[in-house]
Amino acid sequence: MKTLPIVVLISGSGSNLQSIINSIANKTLNAKICAVITNKADAYGLERAKQANIPTEILDHRQYPSREDFDAQLTKIIERYQAELVVLAGFMRILSDGFVAHFYGRMINIHPSLLPKYRGLHTHQRALESGDKVHGLSIHYVSAELDGGPIILQKTVPILADDTEKSLAQRVLVEEHIAYPKVIQWIAQGRLQLIDHKIIMTDNA
Q: Could you give the residue numbers annotated as active site? A: 111
Pairing of strands 31-38, 192-195: unpaired
Pairing of strands 31-38, 56-58: parallel
CA angle 133, 136, 142 (to 5 degrees): 140
Instruction: Classify burial at 182, counting beta carbons within 10 Å of its beta carbon; exposed 0-12, middle 13-18, buried 19 or more.
Output: middle
Is the dihedral angle over the CA atoms 97, 40, 111, 122 positive or is it negative? negative
